[in-house]
Amino acid sequence: MPTIAIPSLIRNLTDGEESVTVEGTTIREVINNLENQYPGTKAKLCDGDRIHPSIGVYINGVLTRVAMHDRLDADAELHFLPAISGGVSSDLYPDEL
């Protein structure tokens, strides 16, 4: 069964668990089963039927652009991480920009 690393921002939904093992052979099945075990997680990870655009999906340590129906290996490790935006506000460092 795939293992999902739980981002700190939604650990309150998984009783503080840092990782959980969930059945599923596709990203969609894993997310749906995660939602069944821990209600509210799907809303944090998805925008409708897609991964939220601000979430990066890492499978076995590799950032991927998977579709929800893509297959996963039984021993896959998934990380759902908030995307990091770039840039620095000139308000923070006005003399350095």
**Domain extents in the chain:** 3-82
- Answer positive or negative: Cα dihedral of 25, 55, 65, 60: negative
What pLDDT does 2 receive? 93
Asked: is 3-82 a CATH 3.40.50.2300 domain? The reply is: no
Q: How confident is the model at residue 87 (pLDDT cuts 50, 70, 90)?
A: low
- pLDDT beyond 60 at 49: yes
- Tell me what the pLDDT averaged over the chain comes to: 84
Query: pTM, whole model, 2 decimals?
Result: 0.78
Q: How confident is the model at residue 57 (pLDDT cuts 50, 70, 90)?
A: confident
- The answer to whether the CB of 32 falls within 8 A of the CB of 48 is no
What pLDDT does 97 receive? 44
- State the average pLDDT over residues 51-72: 84
Residue whose tokens read 């340590």: 61
- Of the CA atoms within 13 Å of residue 75, those in its CB half-sphere come to 0
